[in-house]
Structure 1
Amino acid sequence: MKTRKQMKRLGRMSLKKHYVIFVAACLIAAFLASEFTSSLNFSTVQNYETTYDQVQSDLNGDSTYSIKTGVDSIGWGDVIRIIVEDNMQAGKEMSQEIRQNAIEDSENGNPMFGRTRGVLSNIVNQVSSGSIIVTAAAAIGSITGSDNLGILILIIIGALGLFIFWFLIQNTFPVVIRRVFLEGMIYDRVTTQRFVFLLRVKKWLKASWIMFVKYVYYSLWCLTLVGIVVKHYSYFLVPYIVAENPDMTAREAITLSRKMMKGHKWQCFVFELSFLGWEVLGALTLGIFNILYTNPYQVASFTRYYAELRAEAIEKGIPGSELLYDTYLYEKAESYVIAAKYPDVIKVIEEPEDTVEKLTGWRGFLARNFGVLLLRREQERAYERHQADYVRVHSMIDDVQREAYPVRLYPIPEEERRKLVQSLNYMRHYSIWSLITVFLSMSVFGWLWEVGMHLVAYGEFVNRGALHGPWLPIYGTGAVLILTVLNRFRRNPALEFGATIVVCGFLEYMTSLVMEIATGGTKWWDYSGYFLNLNGRICAEGLLVFGIGGLAIVYVIAPVIDDLVNRFNERKVMVICTVLMVAFLADAVYSQIHPNTGKGVTDIEEARGPDPAHQVSGKQIQA
């Protein structure tokens, strides 16, 4: 068995290779209060607790203390406390006053943090004031016929929700991060997808149950003084065992940990003690050093320790060790084994360059950088088919090259990676006619969306937008920009989401600015009063919908539209697109001289109404 010094050295090597994902795993665990929670003690929170008597006297007008002056100190926690004291009406009044004061402060403060209009503002107001709790308690009370019973049910529901969160997330996350660290021992690449390993093998609930049983056993042993220490080390390996094989029973996992730790408890204690100096350094830096180094270093070192105990258990033939069958966590598969499991991936990787002619010149430039194929000759079609095959196997290339854990070799079959997305071939290239179809389709969709929203809100039909036809070009323009300008981001949905928000936010802001300047100050939308808005031209919830809509366009909508376009005769598609684009351009030119204005379109101030919190803005949120 390796020495502590050797295992620590190997742990540091793993941490060096996977520093970012290892630190992220431990930091997430700390935020979830699953492990390492003491590392976050540096983020002290100022205590503004207000007593029940102060709040009651203020509501009764008997105190000079006011909720308005203490708006930062009183929140939903105080509202809950009053409700629990069987005073529903006082809680409701307090919640309403907190909400109103917050709205008034936002109107007098930075306009970016408006809280009078929009879905996000309403959510912020509901949560910060505690009115969401009051509403829920009142609703349950009206159903049961008793406020006390309603409050009791609300408490039970809250407690049940906390238990479910603990059972499924906090209780199970130690297994999740151990899997990440186990795969990082010998492999050069560990992606964020490995955080959902338990979901891929459909064993998340089973892992949660094993960890729950372990928690119950240890809690019972803690009733004895000896059990607190002894059973801590007896059950020490359970998260590692479950991370390797989550298909065991709770009894099997706990018993195996107990047998593997027999004779090693003192050794494990000393190993833990050897990190004391690092813990002290972490305390001196208010937990920051623990977050950035000590926590992942310790887990990486103990992952090596588990590997040593596992090898020893298998060598000695300890009963249950045969269940530790994930061999490829500890040694890389032979080439012939990989070849037998990944023939399709190898075929794409090893496909001779001359079988697929690469696009060169301006065609290659447009295809590589913007995902556009102006013509669809046989060469382009062959190139497209090759790209589709590459996308299908892209996520498994690292497996074949033995740089990442070979998921197809795991004894429990994993779910196919992103089946829907792969079948749609989101990395495809779009012809000019497909892009025009996408532009027109999304422009018409945007018009239907805004007309429909206005119809629901006000009960009247209004032709939305500056043009006279049934289209809003900002939607179509945003869709085309996402597909072309952000072509290189498609392989990474997270980057695609962020880039979509930036591009569409810039487009909406500049469109608003240019239209306002060109028309002498006429506004077609104004987000003033929305939470996190910028000069009333863009707002956070609109950008969030932009991001979500952008992902839908890139990975689902645009591929479906492109497939439909390719089914029809190309000449007919060209004729239809040309006619529609001529009509659109004619409308655009005419609207430059006679823009669509009037009630429900540019009457921003009137559209807000006397109660802005419940009105629809002059321009609905873009999708």
Structure 2
Amino acid sequence: MMIPSERREKSTMWKRKELKKNARRSIRQNYWRMVSVCFLIALLTASYPLATAFLGVHPLSHIDTISNLHQTFETETTSQILEETATRLFHNTDIENLYQNPSATYTNLLVDLYADSTSTFFAVLKIFNTFLDEHFDFIVFILGISAILAFLYRIFVNNILIIGEKRFFLESKNYKDTRISKIFFLYKLHYIRRPAFTMFFRSLYQFLWNFTVIGGIYKHYEYWMIPYILAENPRISKKNAFFLSRQLSNHNKKKLLLLDLSFLGWKMLSLLSLGLVDFLYVNPYMATCKAELYLTLRRNYVLSRSPGYEYLDDSYLEHIPSEDELLISKALYDDSEGPYTQTSYFAPDQYPVFLFSVQPPFSAVRSPVNPVRKYDLWSCIFLFHAFSIFGWIVENLIHLLKTGEFSFDGAVFFPWAPMYGIFGILLLLFMKKLIPKPELVFFLNFAVYTLIEYLASWILELGYSLKVTAYSDYLFTLNEHTYIGGSAVFALLGCAFLYYLAPKWTEAFSHLKKNIRIVLCILLSLIFLGFVFKISLPYIW
């Protein structure tokens, strides 16, 4: 007879080849949504820093050639912060010579690729460097505020979105129509504090264990399951989340390490492509593999009735309810007058959210966005201005994250980025019939935006001597007029505009009275045309 400990050990057995095979099958079914989720997580949490090198929001996207990787980056990078700290602390010639050694260049490169210089830790290091330099001025105060904001962002945004990403990949295994917005599911549930608290201690313990190096690696795999456990059951306590993660990773840490090492070839290929392969395949592939692994381990753990298995209570991740089961469950749910009783929306290919263990408040439940809708003239005018202003904000936020300061360079139509508005209107006019085919929409977005930006940049430079885009220091450019990584970002933003932003903004706009809508459109158009006239006037005369 098998004793319980042997049964638990046997129940956690899994094969890497079978895991990857299942992951590849899942990717084929939901590829573009997975790419989009990893793209958003890369931008919002820096969980995939290598991918951002290709997307244009990482300092490594601003280098001339591979041979010039050692040149100074546009912003203060992670390796530069560490170098500055070491130099100020030790004032040692050997330290300075070490960082000037050519072999250190490539070590610094790897540090910059796989570390987040905007994290709380490096924000504190910047303050420390300033104190060592005895600059006790307003800059120190600003850096202190930045560190506090970075700390709060890490707790209440970064960690929550990481849980949301895990939830997306867990659901997309069996539910083909899992929405990208699933990464925000905890915000929709208005259930933040307990998961944020647990993730904070996970980060804190991991940070402290990292000082022991070996202990840091060991604890990395011991804590590895915590975001998945919280994605399945956000109500679980910190103590039970850590306990279950420890149990699930028991007898599996070495295999988890080997699983990570098996992706080394893909990572080297991504490094050579400066993040292109990471963006298009590696990140979704790795995330899907790890979600498959968690589902396998939690299934075996529940079947073995091991201690604490009752906290892994989301059976619908494994069991896909039939249409009859869903109809019966929905009827019973409606009788209980839950928050989803107010919506008639019901999708068999999506996870039955009305049966999830945590229910949102009534005010958070909305009917799904319908991208297939009509847009009248005034709606199109409003959307042109809305998306143009939205684009200007996005451009400046990206610049702020990269350099720590706002930039008005290239914003000649402040606060409009008309390229966004023009592109958005073209999408509404010509992509409407292709909405059921998001993959084709993405490729067309990519091609159309690349062509529009190239022509616009060429015309402004030739006719007005204005260089709105500065891509001379970027890799993957077309004659320095358009950046391929930027086109990929813009294609995803275009999809977001077509499928979500445009319908939502139009719905809000339509709630205004007709006279107010007309006046608002005319006012925005006059202000924008004023900027255009102001810029064109010197060239007309």
Normalised to the residue count of structure 1, the TM-score between the two structures is 0.47
Checking the alignment, whether the CA contact within 8 Å between 1:218 and 1:232 is kept in structure 2 is yes
Cα distance in 1 for partners of 2:51, 2:373 equals 45
User: Which residue of 191, 194, 199 corresponds with 1:203?
Assistant: 191
Structure 1 residue 409, shift from structure 2 partner? 1.5
The residue that corresponds to 2:206 in the other structure is 218
Q: Tell me whether 1:31 sits opposite 2:43 in the alignment.
A: yes
The structure-2 alpha-carbon separation of the partners of 1:553 and 1:310, relative to structure 1 and needing over 3 Å to count, comes to closer
User: Which residue of 278, 281, 286 corresponds with 1:293?
Assistant: 281
3-state DSSP class of the match of 2:42? helix
Deviation per CA, 1:6-44, whole angstroms, max 9, x where unpaired? 111111111111111212222333334532323445644
3-state DSSP class of the match of 2:211? coil
Deviation per CA, 1:118-158, whole angstroms, max 9, x where unpaired? xxxxxxxxxxxxxxxxxxxxxxxxxxxxx955433222112
Residues 24-173 of structure 1 mapped to structure 2, 5 A cutoff: 24-32=36-44, 34-41=46-53, 43-46=60-63, 150-173=138-161
The structure-2 alpha-carbon separation of the partners of 1:335 and 1:37, relative to structure 1 and needing over 3 Å to count, comes to same
Checking the alignment, whether the CA contact within 8 Å between 1:407 and 1:414 is kept in structure 2 is no
Report the RMSD for the aligned CA atoms in angstroms.
5.7
The residue that corresponds to 2:481 in the other structure is none
Deviation per CA, 1:237-286, whole angstroms, max 9, x where unpaired? 11111111112222221111011211221222222233233333333433
Structure 1 residue 488, shift from structure 2 partner? 5.8
The residue that corresponds to 1:404 in the other structure is 350
Deviation per CA, 1:375-424, whole angstroms, max 9, x where unpaired? xxxxxxxxxxxxxxxx954xx34x23xx111111212114569757789x
Q: Tell me whether 1:558 sits opposite 2:504 in the alignment.
A: no
User: Which residue of 325, 343, 347 corresponds with 1:337?
Assistant: 325
* Aligned sequence identity (%): 25
Q: Tell me whether 1:251 sits opposite 2:239 in the alignment.
A: yes
Q: Tell me whether 1:8 sits opposite 2:7 in the alignment.
A: no
The residue that corresponds to 1:131 in the other structure is none
The residue that corresponds to 1:463 in the other structure is none
Checking the alignment, whether the CA contact within 8 Å between 1:426 and 1:556 is kept in structure 2 is no
The structure-2 alpha-carbon separation of the partners of 1:151 and 1:487, relative to structure 1 and needing over 3 Å to count, comes to closer
Letter in 1 for 2:350: A
Structure 1 residue 225, shift from structure 2 partner? 4.3
Cα distance in 1 for partners of 2:139, 2:50 equals 33
The structure-2 alpha-carbon separation of the partners of 1:266 and 1:413, relative to structure 1 and needing over 3 Å to count, comes to same
The structure-2 alpha-carbon separation of the partners of 1:338 and 1:277, relative to structure 1 and needing over 3 Å to count, comes to same
Structure 1 residue 4, shift from structure 2 partner? 1.5
The residue that corresponds to 2:250 in the other structure is 262
Checking the alignment, whether the CA contact within 8 Å between 1:214 and 1:250 is kept in structure 2 is no
The residue that corresponds to 1:310 in the other structure is 298
Deviation per CA, 1:426-454, whole angstroms, max 9, x where unpaired? 98999xxxx99x89xx9xxxxxxxxxxxx
Checking the alignment, whether the CA contact within 8 Å between 2:41 and 2:48 is kept in structure 1 is yes
Cα distance in 2 for partners of 1:154, 1:268 equals 41
Cα distance in 1 for partners of 2:73, 2:218 equals 45
Deviation per CA, 1:550-582, whole angstroms, max 9, x where unpaired? 7687313435658xxxxxxxxxxxxxxxxxxxx
Checking the alignment, whether the CA contact within 8 Å between 2:27 and 2:288 is kept in structure 1 is yes
The residue that corresponds to 2:459 in the other structure is none
4+ long deviations beyond 4 Å: 39-42, 73-77, 343-346, 415-423, 425-430, 484-489, 527-532, 546-553, 559-562
Normalised to the residue count of structure 2, the TM-score between the two structures is 0.53
Letter in 2 for 1:45: H
Letter in 2 for 1:558: S
Letter in 1 for 2:352: P
The residue that corresponds to 2:399 in the other structure is none
Cα distance in 2 for partners of 1:9, 1:243 equals 24
3-state DSSP class of the match of 1:172? helix
| Structure showing the higher helix proportion among its residues | 2
Deviation per CA, 1:73-116, whole angstroms, max 9, x where unpaired? 99998xxx9xxxxxxxxxxxxxxxxxxxxxxxxxxxxxxxxxxx
Q: Tell me whether 1:238 sits opposite 2:226 in the alignment.
A: yes
3-state DSSP class of the match of 1:223? helix
Letter in 1 for 2:357: P
Deviation per CA, 1:309-345, whole angstroms, max 9, x where unpaired? 1012212322222111111111201333311344599
3-state DSSP class of the match of 1:222? helix
Checking the alignment, whether the CA contact within 8 Å between 2:343 and 2:366 is kept in structure 1 is no
The residue that corresponds to 2:170 in the other structure is 182
The structure-2 alpha-carbon separation of the partners of 1:417 and 1:327, relative to structure 1 and needing over 3 Å to count, comes to farther
Unpaired runs of 5+ in structure 1? 48-72, 82-146, 347-390, 443-480, 503-526, 533-543, 563-600, 610-623
What is the count of residue pairs matched by the alignment?
368
The residue that corresponds to 2:387 in the other structure is none
The structure-2 alpha-carbon separation of the partners of 1:429 and 1:35, relative to structure 1 and needing over 3 Å to count, comes to closer
The structure-2 alpha-carbon separation of the partners of 1:75 and 1:266, relative to structure 1 and needing over 3 Å to count, comes to closer
The structure-2 alpha-carbon separation of the partners of 1:238 and 1:528, relative to structure 1 and needing over 3 Å to count, comes to same
Q: Tell me whether 1:21 sits opposite 2:38 in the alignment.
A: no
The structure-2 alpha-carbon separation of the partners of 1:343 and 1:294, relative to structure 1 and needing over 3 Å to count, comes to same
Checking the alignment, whether the CA contact within 8 Å between 1:237 and 1:257 is kept in structure 2 is yes
Cα distance in 2 for partners of 1:150, 1:263 equals 52
3-state DSSP class of the match of 1:279? helix
Cα distance in 2 for partners of 1:344, 1:286 equals 53
The structure-2 alpha-carbon separation of the partners of 1:552 and 1:223, relative to structure 1 and needing over 3 Å to count, comes to closer
Checking the alignment, whether the CA contact within 8 Å between 1:421 and 1:556 is kept in structure 2 is no
Letter in 1 for 2:41: A
3-state DSSP class of the match of 1:325? coil
Residues 389-400 of structure 1 mapped to structure 2, 5 A cutoff: 393=344, 396-397=345-346, 399-400=347-348
Checking the alignment, whether the CA contact within 8 Å between 2:50 and 2:278 is kept in structure 1 is no
Task: Report the structure number with the largest CA radius of gyration.
Answer: 1
Cα distance in 2 for partners of 1:550, 1:235 equals 40
